Chain A
Amino acid sequence: MSPTAAPLNALKSRLSSWRQDPGAAEDRQQVLRVEAEETLRVSFTVNGRPAEVDVAPRVTLSDALRDHLGLTGTHIGCEHGVCGMCTVIVDGDAARACLLLACQLEGAEIMTVEGLGKPDDLHPLQESFSRHHALQCGFCTPGMLMSAYDLLDHEPGVAQDELPEKMSGVLCRCTGYRHIMDAVSDVAQQNPEGVPAPRNCGTGQLLPRSSTGGPGSSAEDELQSRGPAEITLPSSQPTVTVSVEEHVQATPEEIWEVLQDTDRVARCLPGAELVEDFGNDRYLGRIRVALGPVKLSFVGDIHVTERDEQNRSIRAVAQAEDAAGGSVQAGVALAAKPHEGGSLLSADAELFMVGKIAQMGRSLAGDVSADMFAQFTQALDATARGEEPTQAQAPSAVAMFTRLMSQRAQSLVDRLRRR
């Protein structure tokens, strides 16, 4: 090595830690080095969706899943491998998420309890746990389910009397285990060929929550300079579906004119603004939502995928994240049809939420979204008729907050605060 090569290599390897983890494609000569206070960007898939996290070396997979990706289904009990609460599937085998460093997992395929099933399409194991009363407090349930999935995946014909030993990797403080064994045994017997496939492993992207252990640079600057992103909506069930139809005074033609100008459209949405126009109908936008003390600021990509002048309709997909709240992906369709001299303005949206916002609860998240759409249609109507709406202020949703049943809103606030 020449005298100049040493510092150069040191610099290179330092730089490497700010870049993407090279993973499998790793330069065979290179040593990946991440200092204790640095973070590494690691890419893996979670429940079939690509995910990225920026993590310091000591961050475990369980913390990355919970704090960085908002997937809190993976529970943490002991954090040293004994209780099994954190059991997830990594590259096809069950493992303790608390005993894996996220930085070791570049390229890994991870499945968590969120991937197993959907609330209205439960995995047979989940269904069986419910039928057999295999849970009381439910704290061990994600670990039990993932361990059972792994067992039946690899040993489909497992004998009933072997179950206590084979399921001994996860502890339960409530049930006395008997019902858990019954639930697993039932699924084993009904599926001698192997455990049924998971029900909620879709495509689409899981967005990192940059606040937790992120590199510290402004997420917005980064997004702006990296250009437009490809947006794929998950194939799984949306967290919230919103469908609003409103009779407005403006004619479809007038509305269509506003829809042509994305900047004006954005201004109709309370708290929203366009940050960057990347061209080709791709944009970077921001939307602020304030619910009492909860203030979220989502920044992300929007892509208008379809403009249909004939039907006066547009379709768009978007994905955005908030540093603390989580991420949202959305598919939106807007259309204006002639109706009694004005128009019938319809907005249909499918929202996929990850993180704390997803825990707001289906109906409350639905209320908030529906209310925003209602405000949006009104503003759009006003704009179309030449009454430019006042630029919607960030906390414009405060009004909405008071409109919501205050009790439910308060319980959300309490829930978010406690975390």
Chain B
Amino acid sequence: MKAAPFSYVRPTRLDDVVAELERAESTGGGKVIAGGQSLLPVLAMRLGRPKTLVDITRVRELAELQDDVGTVRIGAAVRQRRVERELARRVPLVGRALPWVGHREIRSRGTVCGSLAHADPSAELPAVALCLDATLTVVGPEGRRRVPAAEFFTGAMSTVLAPAELVTSVTVPTPRAGEGFGFEELARRHGDFALAGAAARVRRDGDAVTEAALVGFGVADRAQHRDLTVPMAQAVSQHGADEKALTTTLAEAVDQIAAEVVTASDAHASQQYRRRLMRVLGTRALVRAWTDSRRRTHA
């Protein structure tokens, strides 16, 4: 289907973006358009009819991809495929998750920040942002604020963004010494949204686990972030490098989380099946992250 008519506004300065969003808000509603890879399907199916689209892709500062000491900053106009090409090594968890986001043809237009702002419960990048404690920079009529990923998502396709606010960039930490990552997903076909998936981060000091985090996605109204330092440290001190034993012990811990967070059955998978996926994928991601951390001595 074709989208209903809308006006198109394309500022080149950030101030103007905010002013245009405010103006659009008072004249029937507006939406930011970045890559359009989620927005245009919504418009084509007429599930949404914003009166105005504000294109942010020609604001120069939003097109920046900055590689700093300890972090990378990805501007709101930076496309996923560029990040995949240029930063997959610098932020390995992002690099591992990106190939799961739609298809190459989608990632060549879709932006990283757009995926975060869209906040689909099955999307990979919000889970990755949570797992890495990324920080979003948000600009609006009230000025600039920095929002940790843990506070950004409020529900299915809902975030803390006010109508005239936009995400200008996301800052993602690069791996610290002894940090390793795991990413697992199951989708019905490659490129589909996940039935369930898991991202894990484990940090080690010598042979001891000092930090472990697990994020499950596709299982609830938003990605679920859990600190698993204690069970992970115990399992590792008990079983060391024995992956099989590690898997069995960790599965119990992950199972408990799954029982608590997996909320719904739908046409694609029952609640029971999703719980099992969560256990299998979550455990696998943690074990991979641990193995990965042992390969990685420093950033």
Contacts and interface: CB of A to CB of B under 8 A. Distances in A.
Interface in B64-114: 81, 102-106, 108-109
Interface in B233-289: none
A31 B9 contact: yes
A63 B40 CA distance: 14
A36 B5 contact: yes
Contacts of A87: 105
A132 interface: no
A172 to B, nearest CB: 13
A98 B39 CA distance: 12
B45 interface: yes
B13 interface: yes
Contacts of B4: 58
B11 interface: yes
Contacts of A81: 37, 40-41, 106
Given A28-B13, A79-B2, A169-B191, A34 B8 contact: yes
A100 interface: yes
Contact of B104 (A31, A60, A151): A151
B44 interface: yes
A58 B2 CA distance: 8
A32 interface: yes
B137 interface: no
Nearest to A17: B8
B26 interface: no
B5 A150 contact: no
Interface stretch (B50-58, B124-132, B171-179, B211-219): B50-58
Nearest to B42: A80
B237 to A, nearest CB: 38
Interface residues of A, number: 43
Contacts of B13: 28-29
B298 interface: no
A84 interface: yes
B25 interface: no
A87 B104 CA distance: 11
B158 interface: no
A96 B106 contact: yes
Interface string B156-184: 00000000000000000000000000000
A308 interface: no
Given A57-B5, A80-B41, A101-B53, 4 more contacts: A32-B8, A82-B41, A84-B103, A101-B33
List 7 tightest A-B contacts by C-beta distance, closest first. A169-B103, A57-B8, A93-B108, A80-B41, A36-B5, A32-B10, A168-B190
Interface of A: 26-37, 40, 56-58, 60, 63, 79-82, 84, 87, 90, 93-96, 98-101, 103-104, 147, 150-151, 164-166, 168-169
19 contacts: A27-B12, A29-B13, A30-B12, A31-B20, A56-B5, A57-B5, A58-B4, A58-B5, A58-B6, A58-B43, A63-B2, A80-B45, A81-B40, A90-B108, A90-B109, A96-B106, A99-B106, A104-B36, A169-B104
